[in-house]
Structure 1
Amino acid sequence: MSGWLPLIIILFAVALVLGPVMWLKPNQRDRRLAKLRGSAAKSGMPVQMLKLPAALGEGTAAVYYNRWGDSRRLQLGWVLELQRMEHDMHFAGRWDWRKGRAAPQPAWEPLRQLLDQLPRDACAIVANENGFGIQWQETGGDSAFSRLEATLNEFRPRIEEAIRQPKPEEVERE
Structure 2
Amino acid sequence: MSEWLPVIIIGLVIGLVLGPVMWLKPNRRDRQLADLRSRAARAGITVQIQALPATAGRGTAAVYSHRWQDRKGLRVGWTLQRQRVAHELNFAGRWDWGSGPAAPKSAWHYLHQLLEKVPVNTYAVVATDVGLGIQWEESGGGQTFAQLLSALAEFGPLIEGAIRKPSPVRPVEN
For normalisation by structure 2, the TM-score amounts to 0.95
SS in 2 for 1:99: coil
**2:28 matched residue in structure 1:** 28
**2:110 matched residue in structure 1:** 110
**2:17 matched residue in structure 1:** 17
Within 2, Cα distance between the matches of 1:88 and 1:146?
A: 30
Query: Relative to 1, partners in 2 of residues 1:49 and 1:67: Cα closer, same or farther, differing over 3 Å?
Result: same
Within 2, Cα distance between the matches of 1:168 and 1:92?
A: 32
Per-residue CA distance 1:111-136 (angstroms, 9 max, x = gap): 01111101111111010111111111
**1:55 matched residue in structure 2:** 55
Q: Do the aligned residues in 2 keep the contact of 1:53 with 1:83 (CA within 8 Å)?
A: no
**2:87 matched residue in structure 1:** 87
Superposition map of 1:1-174 within 5 A = 1-169=1-169
Within 2, Cα distance between the matches of 1:21 and 1:88?
A: 53
Within 2, Cα distance between the matches of 1:109 and 1:124?
A: 17
Structure 1 runs not aligned, ≥5 long: none
Within 2, Cα distance between the matches of 1:113 and 1:127?
A: 16
In the alignment, residue 70 of structure 1 is paired with which amino acid? D
Q: CA RMSD in A?
A: 1.4
In the alignment, residue 18 of structure 2 is paired with which amino acid? L
In the alignment, residue 20 of structure 1 is paired with which amino acid? P
Within 2, Cα distance between the matches of 1:159 and 1:2?
A: 76
In the alignment, residue 78 of structure 1 is paired with which amino acid? W
Percent identity of equivalent pairs: 55
Per-residue CA distance 1:127-161 (angstroms, 9 max, x = gap): 01111111110111211111111111100111011
Within 1, Cα distance between the matches of 2:31 and 2:126?
A: 26
Structure 1 segments, 4+ long, off by >4 Å, are none
Within 2, Cα distance between the matches of 1:140 and 1:99?
A: 29
Aligned length: 172
SS in 2 for 1:50: strand
1:100 Cα deviation from its structure 2 partner: 4.5
Structure 2 runs not aligned, ≥5 long: none
Greater fraction of residues in helix = 1
Within 2, Cα distance between the matches of 1:56 and 1:4?
A: 56
